[in-house]
Amino acid sequence: MNIQKIKTTFVLFIVLFTISLTCSQNAGVCVMRGICGDTELGTIPCTNKSDTIILNQNTQMNLQSLSLFEAMCPHIHEKADPEVCCDEFQLESMFITVYNLAHLGFNHCPSCLKNIEKMFCEMNCSPKQNKFIKVKKLKRSESG
C-alpha cells in the first residue's frame, strides 16, 4: 500500500467518523461489527445492530486479538470483562492501520498517534457505539 493510499484512507476515516457523530437512544448496542469488505482505501465494516459482547475467558476471540485490544484500547478495557462491539478481524485491521500511520510520521508525535488509536477504538469497539454512530444509508458493493 503506498503512502498516498494510506493518507487517503486516514482522511476518509476521519471524515466518516466526523460525519457519523449523531446521538441515538440506547447504550450497549452495537451499530457495526466485523468486516464486510475491502477497498483500496481500507476495510468496510458490517452494519450489525446487536448487543455488545463481553470479553472474558469464554469469548471466542483469539489470545493475540485480546492482547491487541488490551494494548490499543486500555480506556475500554479498564474494567474486568468489558463489553465491546468489535471482533478480532476489526482489531487486526485497526492495528495495521495505526501501524501504517505510525510509519507515515505520526510516531514522531506519540500523543497524536495515541489519539488516533483511541478514535479507532471508540469507533470500532465502544459499547456506546450507538450514541455517536448512525448508519444513514446502505449500499451493496459491486462484488456483492
Domain ranges of the chain: 3-131
DSSP letter assigned to residue 43? E
Q: Is residue 1's pLDDT more than 70?
A: no
How confident is the model over 35-66, as pLDDT tens digits?
Answer: 888 877 778 888 888 888 887 666 667 777 78
Count CB atoms within 10 A of the CB of residue 32: 23
Q: What is the mean pLDDT of the chain?
A: 78
Q: How far apart are CA 33 and CA 109, in angstroms?
A: 30
Q: Are 18 and 74 in contact (CB under 8 A)?
A: no
Q: How far apart are CA 42 and CA 40, in angstroms?
A: 6
Q: Which amino acid is at 99?
A: Y
Pick 140 or 17 by higher pLDDT: 140
Q: Is residue 22's pLDDT more than 50?
A: no
Q: Is residue 24's pLDDT more than 70?
A: no
How high is the pLDDT of residue 55?
A: 77
Four-CA torsion 23, 11, 97, 17, nearest 10 degrees: 0
Could you tell me which of 80, 79, 92 has the C-alpha nearest to residue 124? 92
Residue 92: HSE in the Cβ half-sphere, 13 Å Cα cutoff: 10
Q: Is residue 137's pLDDT more than 70?
A: yes
Grid-cell match 500500500, residue found = 1
How high is the pLDDT of residue 25?
A: 39
84-91: average pLDDT: 88
Among 10-19, 41-50, 56-65, 102-111, the range scoring the smallest mean pLDDT is: 10-19
Could you tell me which of 27, 34, 15 has the C-alpha nearest to residue 130? 27
